[in-house]
Amino acid sequence: MTTTTANTLPNLAHRILGSPPVRVTLLGFIFVIMMSLNNDVMTSYAGEPVKAVLHIIALAIAGFAVYLGYAYFMEKRVVSELALPGMGRQLGLGLLIGAILYAACEMILMALGIYRIVGLNPLSYMVPAMAMALSSSVYEELLFRGVLYSSVEQWFGSWAALVVSSLVFGLTHLMNPQGTVEGALFIAVEAGILLAGAYMLTRRLWLSIGFHMAWNYTQSAIFSSIVSGNDAQQGLIRSTVNGPDWLTGGSFGVESSVLALLLCTTTGIVMVVMAVKRGKIVPPIWKRSA
């Protein structure tokens, strides 16, 4: 009797801590706090970009450690979504495609005469954006895909997880300095489907982290553009932008343009279709039980 009770209590605790509501609440709270620390670091070391990057790398490692530690000690599971085999290939592919997607948007604007290059800055101008791109990609993918998407999927299936994670991800961008409802909705559709589609297809976070990191870095460090409603920073290219908001994205940035909507959403849908064909879609828990 005593032995059975002693074994049952820890198992019950692990089931509770691993349940979707508790997992989202606890891990979500921890990651929100850590994301605020990232912002403090970037603000504190705004004039020392190398130090900022080093601190953000340390915080990114801490974020992975928290995620892995929670899974190992609280959920008693193997973290397959952060498995190292194949990491380099998936992360590299994500970096490549993410950079191409953003560059394609700007190339179209150049061809239309909307985005004009007027000069180049020193290469050192490309350093500060490393901290922002690393911080946003790691923590937002751990939170929105690793925690939120997978937790919703555990009970309600892949399609509900896709919708919920995309909407929440998009709406959080309303908190950015120049955030707009239109921009948040564009993010929810184009980035929500793209990043969730990467997770659905690979069942890992590396591809979505690569997409996210490369898009943000290319946008800021190379093209000196507004990133999701945040204030624009000078990167490699000095430019002028003059065109309608539906093409340029206006004060929110290219994410709020039809170009990003078409390119990123199409790429995301392709990955979702591939996930369906490969049997990667998880049904709701009641259908699994049946």
- Is 71 a domain residue? no
- Residues 6+ away with beta carbon under 8 Å from 95: 210, 213, 214
- Res 287 pLDDT > 70: yes
Domain count, the chain: 1
**Residue 86: left if φ>0, alpha if ψ -120 to 50, beta else—which one?**
left
Of 7-16, 48-57, 159-168, minimum mean pLDDT range: 7-16
Residue 182 near residue 256 (C-beta atoms within 8 A): yes
- Res 116 pLDDT > 60: yes
Helices (H), 173-279: 181-186, 192-202, 206-217, 245-248, 258-277
Across 40-49, average pLDDT: 89
Across 22-42, average pLDDT: 93
Question: Rounded to two decimals, what is the model's pTM?
Answer: 0.93
3-state secondary structure 73-115: HHHCCCCHHHCCCCHHHHHHHHHHHHHHHHHHHHHHHHHCCCE
Beta strands in 221-264 (DSSP E): 237-241
**Tokens standing for residue 150:** 């997978």
Across 8-21, average pLDDT: 76
- Res 118 pLDDT > 70: yes
pLDDT digits (tens, 9 = 90+) for 160-178: 999 999 999 999 998 888 8
CA distances from 167 to 3, 100, 217 (A): 46, 25, 23
Neighbours of 35 (CB within 10 A): 19
Of 8-17, 189-198, 236-245, minimum mean pLDDT range: 8-17
**Tokens standing for residue 289:** 């039980």
- Res 9 pLDDT > 70: no
Cα separation of the two ends of the chain: 33
- Is 36 a domain residue? no
% the chain with pLDDT above 90:
79
Question: What mean pLDDT, rounded, does the chain reach?
Answer: 92
- Is 50 a domain residue? no
What b/e readout covers 61-76, taking b as 16+ CB neighbours within 10 angstroms?
A: eebbeebeebbeebee
- Is 19 a domain residue? no
**Cβ burial, residue 178 (10 Å; 0-12/13-18/19+):** middle
Pairing of strands 237-241, 115-120: antiparallel
pLDDT digits (tens, 9 = 90+) for 121-130: 999 999 999 9
More confident residue, 5 or 155: 155
- Res 5 pLDDT > 70: no
- Is 219 a domain residue? yes
Across 218-235, average pLDDT: 89
- HSE at residue 83, side-chain half, CA atoms within 13 A, is 10
Across 220-229, average pLDDT: 90
- HSE at residue 261, side-chain half, CA atoms within 13 A, is 15
- Res 2 pLDDT > 80: no
Report the pLDDT value the prediction gives residue 232, as an integer from 0 to 100. Answer: 79
- Is 122 a domain residue? yes
Give residue 222's domain range: 85-289
- Residues 6+ away with beta carbon under 8 Å from 1: none
Report the pLDDT value the prediction gives residue 1, as an integer from 0 to 100. Answer: 44
- Res 10 pLDDT > 80: no
Residue 288: pLDDT band by 50, 70, 90 thresholds? confident
- Phi and psi angles of residue 238, each rounded to the nearest 5 degrees, phi first: -95, 130
- 3-class DSSP state of 135: helix
% the chain with pLDDT above 70:
96
- Is 57 a domain residue? no
Of 4-13, 109-118, 204-213, minimum mean pLDDT range: 4-13
Neighbours of 203 (CB within 10 A): 15
Across 97-113, average pLDDT: 96
User: 20-44 and 49-69 helices cross at what angle (nearest 10)?
Assistant: 170
- Is 205 a domain residue? yes
